[in-house]
Amino acid sequence: MNDVVLLTGAGQIGMAIARRIGHGKKIVIGDKNIQNAESISKIMTEAGFDVEIKECDISSRESIKDLINFAQKFGQIAYFINAAGVSPSQAPIEVILKVDLYGTAVLLEEVGKVIKEGGVGVTISSQSGHRMKQLGAVIDEQLATTPTEELLELEVLQQENIDDTLHAYQLAKRCNVKRVMYEACRWGEKGARINSISPGIIVTPLAIDEFNGPRGDFYKNMFANCPSGRPGTADEVANVAELLMSDKGAFITGSDILADGGATASYFYGKLRPE
């Protein structure tokens, strides 16, 4: 049976990564919006890839398990790409925490149970988690190690402690990076690897929502005044993922790669530094 590439999140970044590693493999795409999955599947199928799709809501453990069971019909899951999520302009605080934070944690846990020996995964986080102030060792450990079904009960994640949807998103992405570190230790028992990528502003439909949302000017200023002077592309994120998911990245696990055109550096030490 084929090695299976499991992709959650039918968007431009997930597709770009799947196209890099998916040739000769079965690619299974899960997305809550089945129309998104159909659209990405059509593009990839017409380019010669072998794709199956299934509806999946990553805020539900049962939905994640159903997707995994579906994928296993075609072989062993050897590659995992999580590019699912919602942005601060797309959802309220509760949904951001349930999808981006809890959902990612459950995915890492459940895929880790079935990943093929020697397999590899990557999850898409965000520069936002790097821009937020440090939370301290105690909260970092809580985000990393708290059992998934108890995560949303943490004090730091209660709504009265969260300023707005952007703050919720930053907390979710900080948690993603910490969960990857924790789960890398579990995945390593199978010789498998898991890493995260924290992109900056990448031109995707999600980013365009942000450009046209209440923080649009903030984001446009960010890429105009970061060292690269521009937003990135999905293929530039895929360049990083291709390294992490290939033998050339065999010594990299439990890591987060910041790929943001220097925006975070500029936020702390350059033109984007808050007054």
The pairing of beta strand 2-8 with beta strand 75-82: parallel
Say how far apart CA 142 and CA 179 lie, in whole Å: 10
Active site residue 173: yes
Bridge partners (DSSP) listed for residue 5? 27, 79
Q: Which of 25, 26, 98, 169 is flagged as catalytic?
A: 169
Q: What DSSP line would sit under the chain, residue for residue? A: -EEEEEEES-SHHHHHHHHHH-TTSEEEEEESSHHHHHHHHHHHHHTT-EEEEEE--TT-HHHHHHHHHHHHTTEEEEEEEE-----TTTS-HHHHIIIIIIIHHHHHHHHHHHPPTT-EEEEE--THHHHSPP--HHHHHHHHHS-GGGGGGSGGGSGGG--SHHHHHHHHHHHHHHHHHHHHHHHGGGT-EEEEEEE-SB-SHHHHHHHTSTTHHHHHHHHHHSTT-S-B-HHHHHHHHHHHTSGGGTT--S-EEEESTTHHHHHHHSTT---
> Out of 25, 32, 173, 178, which one is annotated catalytic?
173
Burial class (CB in 10 A: 0-12, 13-18, 19+), 156: middle
User: What is the set of active-site residues?
Assistant: 169, 173
